[in-house]
A and B are shown apart, each in its own frame.
Chain A
Amino acid sequence: MRIFDYFRALQPPKSAAVAKERLQIIIARERHLRDSSTFDYLPMLQKELLEVVRKYVAINDEQIKMNIEKEGDYDILELNITLPEESRQVVNGEEQMVNGEYQKDP
């Protein structure tokens, strides 16, 4: 601890402190962009999944939701497909009732 440190605290922020704050903000933003760009296949995946689900159930674009979340060291891909209240699904020629929603966290 230097004697001058006490007096320094009373002065307006020095340029180094300003630099640090600006860097923290811009780097956090750029890291976020970088991280999300590694998932740039998401829209394509969403479109293809929608096509697969539509083979069996009639759903619209809004009924399929995708989300990436960070939890510690893991990235969690959350896939949320909302099926219509009472939809008729055709599997192997037989009719089945499907209710509610299907969730998956790969």
Chain B
Amino acid sequence: MAKIVVITSGKGGVGKTTTSAAVATGLALRGHQTVVIDFDVGLRNLDLVMGCERRVVYDFINVINGEGNLNQALIKDKRVESLYILPASQTRDKDALTIKGVARVLEALKKRFEYIICDSPAGIEHGAIMAMYFADEALIVTNPEVSSVRDSDRIIGMLSSKTRRAVQNMVPVKEHLLVTRYEPKRVNRGDMLSVEDVREILAIPFLGVIPESPSILQASNAGIPVTLDKKSEAGQAYLDVVTRFLGEEPPPRDKKGFLTRLFGH
């Protein structure tokens, strides 16, 4: 049974698209048939982060409007088997997304894929609601920072009231908290909210934490999902997140030395 997963946050710039690309790639690396959809109509960027921007011919809106078929719009990743990208339209606005249209495309994708990752636009408007509407599970991307935490709480409220599962009184959307852009050094200095703080405030199941890392920018510069960068700490953290998402325990990473533990980095 295919699973629809929305990557959402409310606030912009917290790492939704990076997470969508990294998690979708991670799932495909584990052998799962995966498609990642850009719901940010008008501000398409997933294609750039995935490095397939020059291969976009037809997009999500074209498929909804019947101007092109799904096979023409789906872009097959050249690096990872079983990974596909459905890009957003750059010329339309978000109102082009309709519940009926989105439902039709998702139904068709469900026949081919195990995981359908929906990269939500920022905000709490129509586009964000369309991205979350059909979700079975949600990854709430949160930075350890006041505005991001507050917006995440708002999004959690919408997941339990504005989605199909909420409207039709089904089992609620399964929520996962993902803390990104985390800087342990600043947390130790008391200048940044800790993962424990964010977990306590938002009170949803915790999936993992991604450290702030230069490799994220390097990866998006090159159009390579960070999970393909084996040396990157952030890439490793995303792979662990994918493992936990699949219900498994990730392998232990290298233990910190005595001095590191004593002085906190």
Contact = CB atoms under 8 A, between A and B. Distances in A.
Interface of A: 2-4, 8, 14-17, 19-20, 22-24, 26-27, 30-31, 34, 38
A87 B237 CA distance: 72
Interface of B: 145-146, 149-150, 153-154, 157, 161, 187-194, 197, 200-201, 261-264
A4 B187 CA distance: 13
A23 B262 contact: no
A16 B187 contact: yes
Contacts, number: 50
Given A8-B190, A14-B191, A15-B191, 14 more contacts: A2-B262, A3-B263, A4-B264, A16-B187, A16-B194, A19-B193, A20-B193, A23-B150, A27-B149, A27-B150, A27-B153, A30-B153, A31-B153, A31-B157
A19 to B, nearest CB: 5
A14 B193 CA distance: 10
A27 B148 CA distance: 12
A14 B189 CA distance: 8
A22 B153 contact: no
A74 B128 CA distance: 29
B149 A23 contact: yes
Contacts of A22: 146
A59 B76 CA distance: 70
Contacts of A2: 188, 261-264
Nearest to B156: A31
B192 to A, nearest CB: 6
